Amino acid sequence: MIDIISKKYFHLHNGEISYLFYVMENGQLGHLYYGKDLGTLTESDLKYIALHNNKASGTVKYSPDIPKFTLADRMQEYPTYGTSDFREGAISIECGDEILYPDFKYYDYQINNIKSRNLDMPASYAEDDESQTLTVNLVDEEHKLHLALNYTIFKNSHAIVRSSKVTNLGDKAVKIQNLQSTVLELPDDNYDFLQLSGAWLKERHIKKRPLEQGITKIESLRGASSHQENPFIALVSKTATLNNGRIFASNLIYSGNFVSQVEVDEWGVSRLMTGINPATFTWKLEKDESFSTPEAVIFYTDNGYNGLMQETHNFVKEHIIDRKWQTKKRPIVINSWEAYVFDFNEEKLLRLANEANELGMECFVLDDGWFGHRDTDRTSLGNWTVDKKKFPEGLDHFSDALHDLGMQFGLWFEPEMVSPDTELYKNHPDWVVRHPYSRAAIGRGQYVLDFANPEVVENIFGQMRKIIANCHVDYVKWDMNRNITEAYSEYLHRENLPQGEFFHRYIMGVYHLYAKLLEAFPDLLIEGCASGGGRYDLGIMYYSPQIWPSDDSDASERLDIMSGTMLAYPLSVFSNHVSAVPNGQVRRNTSLKFRQDLADFGPLGYELDLNKLSPSQKDQIKNHIKWYKENRDLLVNGNFKQLIPLNDNNKYAWVVSDNKEKIVGFYRKLAKPNDTLDRYFVLKDLDQDKTYEVNDNLIVGGRILQNFGLREPYQFNGSNGDTAQVTGDFQSYLYKIVEK
């Protein structure tokens, strides 16, 4: 998969894509191509591709020794600002008061065929013979710096994974101020910049804007990837559709402060970069010390949005999430939060659990309120001991009762936070993230613990391990409800380390706690959560096979959240709950059918007081859960595609499929009066020579479904009450299509 030609040209290819770069005249690395596979390349082919004799006007020569050569008009693999290139660079290093301008020259390379899964830090992984990793070593002799650029290509994937590592070979300490994970240069700018943005309760909506000369970027400075932005971005060709058109995309395997940006120069060349946000980052390197960036992944497709989703979904399922979760069934949960909030005891919870068990639910998640004296959200965080008032016989007694029912036991933690009324806060004020001045912000009545300090992580792990072991916890919901303000670590101050290292050390502490929990409890399912979708990223997915996507459980809003989220992340990560109406976040009323039909796509759960439902509603849930269990593997792990253009904000349709079966979900937010009787959407990936059964009552040829289409459900039009299949606002209809 990796060809090295004349020790100058590097060609990563796998029959699907090619990624091509070379050693330029000045010894640095230049970028040549990323796109469809170019096959086996001859040296004359490569010389033609790399030919660049025409120096741009109005530029500065890189060196008087190389006439007609400037970095200003070159696509590069890892550019440095100010060395005849005035665009933003991927690296910035200082030594004392001096700003260095590193000049990294090619030295040598290695190829590695092993990429194992390691819990120390989230990164892509592969089984034997599934990937190759190229490490290109570059050296700046004058500044005594070493730069290693890592490139991984996978079989059967369009993805390229990149990271960088800097080592200080000199005697003087240096400070890294910027070190990006990847750079991708494209020779044109005829793209829309697509981002997944929003806010709490409306995360990851699709937003697009055209590229223009200058910088288009998104970022987070909150200590988390955030509700407001997501590390995923895409460059979408102007003519792209669901199934056609070029798209380049990037994502970062990281959960902290990030930047993802594209800079367009005066000649229309686009430079994409993503990595740790330099605005809040400094890293000190003493002699022989190194720093490695988180990995970034780039994607290419010429098959439009559905082609992009095929690549992003397969990559996450195969190379980020532990593969055991593709075969282990995700339990159908009943979550206690919206049913009882803090007002419960063991007897009350067991009534809910018994009802849930009768309906077919498989895991009871006790969401908050079980510890300390937690009767409000302003107390007890950091005191992970059982509230004896609510559980006089102990939490293990409640857990045993659940297991006797045949249900799993899930438990909520917010491990990164501390409340001011706890012994932890009073005994260890230096463990709180807060600058050493009189005023400090407080959010949600709580403070952030200093996870940059290993002692803090060990303390929280010890508390969690005891509870998880003693109570036989099967499932943890890990929450994080407050972003970081006044970032300052007393630990870093004592260790004489720059405060600019805090944010990265903090998120590494989060990963370390995840790793310790999974090493102690390998079968534990940890669902990520950060006030909903505030940390919905590949870094958390490495440890959490599913994430609570939003605190907004309203099915109508979830249509838009899901449409954006699915561009970058697979259904298996998208945790769904059917909640009560009026919905607790927007006070909207939707039918139980609409809520369940939407929540089917991904891991299913319920979050409402089942005891308040009517017998007919309980029967509806019971029958639906039975159907979901029969189709769970397909609904969680099937191949997902959109069927209606993404700019239609009223009507939605998608399909999940495997080799023999498909399930289609159709949704309409608002009814249209006297609508056209017959509309169709086309299904792809069918065998045209076979027939298919639709919902047990229609037999249709594959050629018809693939070219003519699947008929939308008939909408009530004022006079077709005998044939209408959907009525009113917030309509839903499911199709099951089986190959005969």
Burial classification of residue 427, based on how many CB atoms lie within 10 Å of its CB (0-12 exposed, 13-18 middle, 19 or more buried): exposed
The amino acid sitting at 122 is: P
User: How, if at all, do strands 247-252 and 174-186 pair?
Assistant: unpaired
- In the structure, how many helices (H) and strands (E) does the chain have? 14, 39
Q: Where are the alpha helices (DSSP H) in 268-393?
A: 304-319, 337-340, 346-359
In Å, how far are 150, 658, 732 from 165, measured between CA atoms? 8, 40, 50
CA neighbours closer than 13 Å in the CB half-sphere of residue 495:
15
Cα torsion angle, 711, 716, 719, 723, sign:
positive
Over the range 620-635, which residues count as b (16 or more CB within 10 Å of their CB) and which as e?
bbeebbeebeebbebb
3-class state of residue 469 by DSSP = helix
Nearest residue to 10 via CA among 137, 130, 102: 137
Alpha helix positions (H), 527-682 = 538-541, 555-565, 592-599, 615-637
Given a contact cutoff of 8 angstroms between Cβ atoms, the answer to whether 488 and 435 are in contact is yes
Cβ neighbours, 10 Å, residue 302: 14
- What would the two tokens of residue 95 be? 């030594």
Which helix or strand (DSSP H or E) is residue 464 part of?
helix 454-470
Q: Which residues are catalytic?
A: 479, 551
What are the C-alpha distances in Å from 276 to residues 86, 344, 434, 448?
Answer: 21, 43, 22, 21
Mutual angle of helices 454-470 and 502-520, in 10-degree steps? 30
Omega cis (within 30) before 79: no
